[in-house]
Amino acid sequence: MTLKRAVLRCCSSWGCIEMKHETQTIAGIRCEVYGTKSDTLLLQPVDDHDLEMLDQETEAIEKEQGSAFCLCAFRVPDWNRDLTPWGAPPVFGEIPFGDGAGKTLEFVMKELLPEVGANASLRMIGGYSLAGLFALWAAYNSDAFCGVAGVSPSVWYPGWGDYIRNSHIRVGQVYLSLGDREEFTKNPQMALVGDLIRLQYARMQADPVVEHVVLEWNKGNHFAEPGIRTAKGFAWLLKQQAGKMHANLPV
């Protein structure tokens, strides 16, 4: 069901375009859809704070590259439960982590993609923080995506290092990023993020399935410009895919 329609005007060196923005409800989940149905679909789990930055993020993606895309951001009801692949004790605060990633991926595959991605042959998934962890995990557990953006992903999550040492990702394009101050947090579990993002990058470099991978270091801590950082990840994926398609054109 479509709840709201609007138009977002995006201007860049490519020119100015008017991008449709619709708020929809799919299987009870709020979804913000930017653009029209396209061959290229970007998927992003978000919370209420992320929702406030989606206009800025979409404009930044458009500014970085000129190919058509559709961005679908879906609101996650329970951040600590719905994005994590297995249970874990609290790392900050008192709320433990759940094992809801499987159910969230099921929603993406059975409800979201048939509704917004039926015409998309290129599907990319990305996210920030725990949503970045979920995006990476989804790329290990589904063949539906060609690229993933783990933006300041919560790879400090208990058990993640062992998981990636014993698993193989299923996408060809991998974007990773981290703030250059994130690993200096006083929280001992979260301080592992630097070593584990380097491990993630090394594993991707060695994986024959991965065609292109980058690890980008952003200035600042975990809370600096998450929307812009996420846009950089999606824009990189779009550029890689555009370059791949160009290389395959007949001479």
- Biggest alpha carbon–alpha carbon distance for the chain: 60
**Residue 60 is part of which domain span?**
2-247
> What pLDDT is recorded for position 215?
98
**Contact call for residues 222 and 207 (beta carbons, < 8 A):** no
Name the packing angle between helices 54-64 and 226-247 (round to 10°): 30
CA distances from 54 to 71, 93, 208 (A): 9, 27, 34
pTM of the model: 0.93
> What pLDDT is recorded for position 8?
52
pLDDT in tens, 196-246: 999 999 999 999 999 999 999 999 999 999 999 999 999 999 999 887 765
pLDDT in tens, 57-71: 999 999 987 678 999
CATH code of the domain covering residue 63: 3.40.50.1820
> What pLDDT is recorded for position 249?
46
Question: Number of structural domains, the chain?
Answer: 1
> What pLDDT is recorded for position 248?
57
**Contact call for residues 131 and 54 (beta carbons, < 8 A):** no
Count, residues in the chain: 251
Neighbouring CB atoms inside 10 A of 58's CB total 24
- The amino acid sitting at 132 is G
Q: Which residues of the chain have pLDDT under 50?
A: 9, 12, 14, 249, 251
> What pLDDT is recorded for position 251?
40
- The amino acid sitting at 67 is S
Q: Is 23 helix (H, G, I), strand (E, B) or coil?
A: strand
**Contact call for residues 57 and 42 (beta carbons, < 8 A):** no
